[in-house]
Amino acid sequence: MPKNALLKTDEIGVFALGGLGEVGKNTYVYEIKDQIFIVDAGILFPDDDLLGIDYVIPDYTYLKENEERIVGLFITHGHEDHIGGIPYLLKQVKIPRIYASGIAVDLIEYKLGEHKDLRVPKIEEYKSYYSYNFKGVDISFIRLNHSIPDMFGIVFRTEQGPIFHTGDFKIDYTPVGPHAEYDKLANLGQEGTLLLVSDSTNAEQEGLIQSESKVGKSINELFTRINGRIIIATFASNLYRIQQIIEASELTGRKVAVFGRSMERAIEAGQQSGYIKPRKGTFASVDELNRYRLEETCILVTGSQGEPLAALSRIANGSHRQIKTVKGDTVIFSSSPIPGNQDPINKTINLLFRNDVNVITHGPITDTHTSGHGSGPDLKLMLTLIKPKFFIPMHGEHRMLKHHRGLAIECGVSEENILIMDNGDVAALTKDTIRQAGKVQASDVYIDGTGIGNIGSHVLRERKILSEEGLFSVVLSIDSNKKTLVTDPTVISRGFIYMKGNEELTSSLASDVKKLVLEQLPKKSYNELNLKQSIIELLTDKIYDITLRKPMIIPIIMHLGIN
């Protein structure tokens, strides 16, 4: 397979199939010496307007067309927006090897086990001191801190100079877990870094991001002050937080029960890797909960983002089969809203207040959460340590990328050496130059049930109309031989008007359709497609004039008397 036609000889290609101009589906590609190195393969959780869509993944067409040049998939850490797309990538593209570390390996193996008929490559588990040698490229790793253990930045040492891809990170001087390898960052800066590609999620935030260990102390204090049962929601992937909740429960003599499949799976993986270390007897099964008084229990659940099917949402709306809220319960949100999730979270909180329970969210008084992404000062420290010649901000909405560019200029990076890119934009890099070389295909692909990419914008537009305007259908029985109507048209309405009580309107519309059909049937030019289109145009105008609404109109024609 030939090299990327957008690149000149000796140029390095850098681009994203997902992760630029958005927070999610992080999938980055480095083309070095005609080899393709993929960094992460994430998913994006859909906005409310993507009706019925489960996940959004990148378009993998470019990787499919160039799969012979793919060296491997390198995973920075185990969050869904970095590993969630792996099964869908493997269904379409042959990946020779996956490189991942620590807890990410367990989470990837769980994920792949849920998908049948996958060509699963070998998963190579790397450590922070490992390095891999390819043609003209050495790859090594730098441990950083994030809200999940085993987060690693990736160093590509090329003939043109080192490239550093940070992954998601924050600066935490008192982390829960291993410290970041700041010495390696400083050494890389001394070496002379060619390009830095860095996380931009919290670029707009000026204050310092507090340490994970401070949140642990805050949770301990909360648990000590609360008298009744505690129901606490957090991200299933935040193993540090889960361990802090377990420790706070043990400190206050509470048994921990876990609800939510992703939470159960994460705890199992965390225990295997040693990040979750409960004392014997800390966990209680559903059946065992009844043996303890409510104030002796802590319920650990999924649903911190208001997901409608998650455990906390079902507890809030009373549909959970095993847990019902009672007066005196305290619900703690140990998370902050992902952009776009505030409405469903508010809905869950309001339901909980209706159930007369106490609700505690992260705020100035109670530190129940901290971000895993570095704010402005953290990003500046990374830029100062790495001292890059060229810079590409990644992982963030466009305004975050622009803000990160401003921080880089403050730290001494020349403005002309910084590229703000969108998904698909290809940066071409040499030791002396960086330029935008063109685009590769990089659109959104929708996952709907088991289907990949079979839902397009037309289907989503139809779903939106159905959800907002409803459906109006007219059923016609036509004698094909005599070219006449057998019965009067039948009208069906769903989500548009209630049939009972609107007989006059539906009868009038049916009469208009009958008149149109009787005019068109005898004509030599008659065909079914034209008749359906004429009915749609007639009803669209009539219904809008009367109701100011535009429901989806579906004519159904049944032919009788065909020889």
Radius of gyration of the chain (CA): 29
Whether 373 is catalytic: yes
For residue 124, give the amino acid letter.
Answer: E
What's the CA gap between 70 and 486, in Å, rounded? Answer: 63
SS3 53: coil
What's the CA gap between 184 and 179, in Å, rounded? Answer: 12
Q: CA 375, 233, 285: angle at the middle one, nearest 5? A: 145
User: Do residues 346 and 159 make contact, with C-beta atoms less than 8 angstroms apart?
Assistant: no
For residue 212, give the amino acid letter.
Answer: E
Whether 199 is catalytic: yes
Q: Which residues contact 151 (CB under 8 A, 6 or more apart)?
A: 76, 77, 143, 144, 145, 167, 168, 169
CA torsion, points 433, 380, 143, 240, in degrees to nearest 10?
-140
Q: CA 391, 63, 72: angle at the middle one, nearest 5? A: 75
Which of 40, 59, 150, 199 is an active site residue? 199
Which of 146, 362, 373, 404 is an active site residue? 373
- Per-residue DSSP letters for 356-386? T-EEE-SSSS------SS-BHHHHHHHHHHH
Query: Left, alpha or beta for 434 (phi > 0: left; psi -120 to 50: alpha)?
Result: beta
Q: Which residues pair with 427 in a beta bridge?
A: 14, 436
Closest CA to 276 of 335, 230, 234, 332: 234
User: Do residues 220 and 245 make contact, with C-beta atoms less than 8 angstroms apart?
Assistant: no
Q: Is 266 exposed, middle or buried (0-12, 13-18, 19+ CB in 10 A)?
A: buried
> What positions carry a catalytic annotation?
199, 373
